[in-house]
Amino acid sequence: MTFDWSIVWASRGALATGAWMTVTLTILTMAIAIPGGILLALMRLSPLGAARGLAIAFVEFFRCTPLILQVYWAFYVLPTQLEVQFSGFATGLMALSMNVSAYNAETFRAGINSIRRGQSEAGLALGMSGAQVYREVVLPQAVKRVLPVLATTWVALFKDTSLVSVIAVGDLAYTAMQIRSRSFRVLEMLTAMAVLYWAMGYPQAKLTDWIHRRLAGRE
């Protein structure tokens, strides 16, 4: 069996574009899913029954069904029901954002609950409103405390973005698969894809480890 690695170099432009798309999807998803997760966590902790119920339904749906199903569902089912067609990119971003928001919601909820009650009371005793107590006292501490978990979610998300390739979003996975199908250079392209994901993922994983070390167990 002969290998032709030149296909990888020849496809470098397309692969770079795909890799860039993967990074963009990861960043945009997190940019939506962090405020989304905080919002869902606050809804879930709110005294309003309706808000709580909504947040629980949302979180439990997205946590307990496969991401690939959510991606397909957003792409095929949602448009027929809403009679709007989003681009593959927008659909993929939406599915990823909702999924990660659900995970982040649980992360933030745990983080918020881990801040002792005396902290809120100290804010209230100063005359702060409930919203100010959250903004000034609880959330900054909760975010710091959950940062290691968010970093782990980030690395998982970076790899999970590959699932949007099933709806023809031109990320790294989709691009590599396309070149593979056209050139029949299966081993070369899959290896190139693995190397590229690893080369991008490894520094992120190391950064996560560093964040864990910096923040774990610190008040």
Partner 1 sequence: MTAVPAPGRRYASGRPLVACQRVRKLFGRFVALEEVSVEVNRGEVVCFIGPSGSGKSTLLRCINGLETVDGGRVLFDGSPLPTRAADLRHVRQRMGMVFQSFELFPHKTALANVTVGPIRVLGMPPAAARVRAEALLDKVGLADKAGSYPSALSGGQQQRVAIARALAMEPEVILFDEPTSALDPETIGEVLTVMKRLADEGMTMVVVTHEMTFARRVGDWVVVFDRGQVVEEGLPGDIFDRPREARTRDFLSHLGWDDSGRRHRPAGSA
Residue 132 CB, nearest distance to partner 1 (Å)? 6
Closer residue to partner 1, CB minimum distance, 128 or 168:
128
Residue 219 CB, nearest distance to partner 1 (Å)? 5
State the residues that interact with partner 1 by CB under 8 A.
118-119, 121-130, 132, 136-137, 140-141, 144, 219
Nearest-Å Rg of the Cα atoms of the chain is 21
Residue 40 CB, nearest distance to partner 1 (Å)? 23
Residue 117 CB, nearest distance to partner 1 (Å)? 10
Distance CA 110, CA 207 (A): 23
Contact (Cβ atoms closer than 8 angstroms) between residue 108 and residue 37? yes
Closer residue to partner 1, CB minimum distance, 64 or 131:
131
Closer residue to partner 1, CB minimum distance, 33 or 133:
133
Distance CA 182, CA 108 (A): 45
What the block records as the tokens of 5 is 């690695």
Distance CA 108, CA 18 (A): 31
Helices in 46-116 by DSSP H: which ranges?
Answer: 49-63, 67-72, 78-82, 88-113
Closer residue to partner 1, CB minimum distance, 19 or 137:
137
Residue 146 CB, nearest distance to partner 1 (Å)? 13
Closer residue to partner 1, CB minimum distance, 122 or 195:
122
Separation in Å, CA 45 to CA 133, 134, 211: 14, 12, 27
Closer residue to partner 1, CB minimum distance, 93 or 139:
139
Q: Which amino acid is at 11?
A: S
Distance CA 200, CA 16 (A): 12
